[in-house]
Structure 1
Amino acid sequence: MNEALAGIAPGNGETVVVGLSGGVDSSVSALLLKQAGYRVVGLFMKNWEDDDTDEYCSTRQDLIDAAAVADVIGIDLEVVNFSAEYKDRVFASFLREYQAGRTPNPDVLCNAEIKFAAFLDHAMQLGATRIATGHYAQVREFEGRFQLMKGEDGTKDQSYFLHRLNQAQLSRTLFPVGHLYKRDVRRIAADAGLANAAKKDSTGICFVGERPFREFLQRYLPVTPGEIRDLDSERVLGQHDGLMYHTIGQRKGLRIGGLKGMADDAGEHDAWYAARKDMEKNVLYVVRGHDHPALLSGRLVAADLSWVSGALPHTHWVYAAKTRYRQPDAPCSIDAVDADRCEIVFAEPQWAVTPGQSVVVYESKVCLGGGIIVSAGD
């Protein structure tokens, strides 16, 4: 048996709609599902229409790549426009969060509201019983519930972005490459003659892409310049163009480097980092040194909670959590939890915990869910 199919249940003619993005991961997902005996239909989602003809938009090329893959695999491809749903369910929230001084993660909301909601609904209307995507994650049924598991390739695991999925969504979702490593996915694509086998992975926010971020935000939110101050001394160090452009822990782009008389030591400790935003005074506070106490948090409060199982996790158990995608799992406990918010305490202080970002809780390889960081402290 093909080892790549070992993690995929036999299809037996079952219809599954695969979200084909034009990338190699979703392409191999479609290929493997067809090889496993599923009736596969490809669906290309167009989620953004504003300025989609400029140099930063890859939608046109992505559609060409998806169509070429569908032709090689031998499956139908449908194109659907979810841009209206995207603006209502994702982009509006994105702008509200930035205007409030927080740093949102629209990819998390996009998955919950578009890729596994609007897309799932559309697939069911097409007569499918399940959907599939190229995410590096896994689903396991355990004691009558569906668990969201980390992808086998730890360097590509995307369960962080999927933590808001619920039981109904997981019960109808397949992640065909979740048990594979990225290098193997590219090899499978090359062996099958897929033209996108070596295509570069997409980067940037799901609808913004790689366009200049400040320029993009300025189209939608008013610019309100203000002071940059040293948190320790209150000394004015410079001017910011708007608090929405800055995030906690930011080092580059502050434009206050090299200030005379402000550095005692050479090297890393001379660097300035964004540490706090005062929305009422429109002041960005910065500190000097990567390990400044203001950048370290031993606990946080999260709201807008979503638990994969539908049940609240236990308090005072040992879990692990991430406060950003690339962060290693950090041992923690949940000291207080209810339907609306929870308090998470870390065994070791965490760096640059940022309001607006997602905190995601794990028990070993099982993603339990999480919420939006409201505040952080000692």
Structure 2
Amino acid sequence: MRVVAAMSGGVDSAVAASRMIEAGHEVVGVHLALAKNAKTLREGARGCCTIEDAGDARRVADRLGIPFYVWDMATPFARDVVEDFVAEYQAGRTPNPCLRCNEKIKFAALLDKALALGFDAVATGHYAQIVEGPHGRELHRAVDMAKDQSYVLGVLDEEQLARAFFPLGDTTKPQIREEAAERGFAVAKKPDSHDICFISDGDTRGWLTQRLGEQEGEIVDEGSGEVVGGHHGAYGFTVGQRRGLGLDRSDLDGQPRYVTRVEAETNRVFIGTADLLGADEIEADHVRWCGPAASGRHRLGAQIRAHGEEIPATAEVRGEGSDARLVVRLDSAVRGAAPGQSIVLYDGTRVVGSGTIARAGRAARAPSAPVGGKPADESPARLPPTRRTSA
């Protein structure tokens, strides 16, 4: 196959490209320029897409003896990821830009351009596995659970998975670094990028303030209904947040308070005690299936953070196509489920699909019904069968 290897300038994408060559593919290295004004140097492990990163990627490509190009994706990245990120926070939601980037940039804009140029697929350094199943290619968790990135790939559909390779899914991170060193890659010890790539200093609230301006508002205690403080923009808060509230706990009976909801239309932030924070029922839209679409009710695992715990749940699909919605009842309540975040569903190690959280709260359950009990009208036969891998 003719394959585009997305090369970020880090150790993972370097080893991924080399493995694709060893597998017999015709590989071309491509670095995505996502920033309109790329910085010269990285700030430690923060940020990406700097001139330094592009140089690191080019040196790896030279060592591998493959062609190398820089593709300018700054405009679609700004529109589909950065502007979306700002709009979501402004609306009182908490987005995950990594999922949006994988959906819109790496496996839409990049893949579309690669196919238009005659390539067959795209390979990246994500930690996940592709398994051939009875209904086509399936997305599964990586062997290294500490590095597993299947959550942020949960937005990929079956057509994108059919054109994707993740060569690192069967390997641990220490093994990848050892392999990079053996191959003589200078990036073998390069720190991993973390946090949000386009906010290099890690100060999300400050970054949003620069773009949206200060917006004075009230902090309201859910229990008493009293105004207990103020803020400079509701967009700077997310459900489950405890730090940075600027409140004196002694004025609030000494108990810690968490953000329970953000009301964008009134610019108010609501806080409450930990018992008000848990959610065991989640409704989600923008549903994406990593394979044939599911219908009915199914017992699955649900995860709401990239490295969060997978919780047993009952997921019900309502509607079809672009109108499909998910209603997920968790066996145990989870803290900090915020509108705008993604919920990703698993069947064993297989990623079934994902949705964007529209609402999270407490479900009304019959007292006699065991929490997490299997509904009588559940229809697991409608969920395509899967071939599991160990993880």
TM-score by structure 2 length? 0.86
CA distance in 2, matches of 1:128, 1:357: 33
1:196-234 CA-partner distances (Å, limit 9, x unpaired): 111111012233333422232123223212111221112
Hey, what does 1:4 align to over in structure 2?
none
Hey, what does 2:279 align to over in structure 1?
297
Which 4+ residue blocks in structure 1 deviate beyond 6 angstroms? none
Aligned-partner residue type, residue 24 of structure 1: V
Hey, what does 1:230 align to over in structure 2?
221
Hey, what does 1:309 align to over in structure 2?
291
Q: Is the 8 A contact 1:153 1:182 kept in 2?
A: yes
Aligned mate of 1:365, from 337, 340, 349: 349
SS, match of residue 207 in structure 2: helix
CA distance in 2, matches of 1:17, 1:249: 40
CA distance in 2, matches of 1:341, 1:106: 21
1:48 aligns with 2:32: no
1:273 aligns with 2:258: yes
Distance 1:335 1:310, change over 3 A: closer
Q: Is the 8 A contact 2:280 2:329 kept in 1?
A: yes
CA distance in 1, matches of 2:57, 2:41: 20
Mapping of 1:1-378 within 5 angstroms? 14-50=1-37, 52=39, 58=48, 59-256=50-247, 258-264=248-254, 270-288=255-273, 292-315=274-297, 317-339=298-320, 340-378=324-362
Distance 1:82 1:51, change over 3 A: closer
CA distance in 1, matches of 2:70, 2:42: 22
TM-score by structure 1 length? 0.89
Distance 1:60 1:136, change over 3 A: same
SS, match of residue 125 in structure 2: coil
CA distance in 1, matches of 2:350, 2:201: 32
CA distance in 2, matches of 1:259, 1:150: 41
Q: Is the 8 A contact 1:160 1:360 kept in 2?
A: yes
Gaps of 5+ in 1: 1-13, 265-269
SS, match of residue 219 in structure 1: helix
1:129-187 CA-partner distances (Å, limit 9, x unpaired): 11100000111221132211111111111111111111111111110111111111011
Aligned-partner residue type, residue 26 of structure 1: S
Coordinate RMSD, CA, aligned: 1.8
1:349-370 CA-partner distances (Å, limit 9, x unpaired): 1111110000000000000111
Distance 1:193 1:366, change over 3 A: same
SS, match of residue 220 in structure 1: helix
How far the C-alpha of 1:127 sits from its partner, in A, is 2.8
Greater CA deviation, 48-57 or 299-308? 48-57
Gaps of 5+ in 2: 363-391
Hey, what does 1:9 align to over in structure 2?
none
Paired positions, count: 355
Q: Is the 8 A contact 1:312 1:338 kept in 2?
A: no
CA distance in 1, matches of 2:340, 2:175: 35
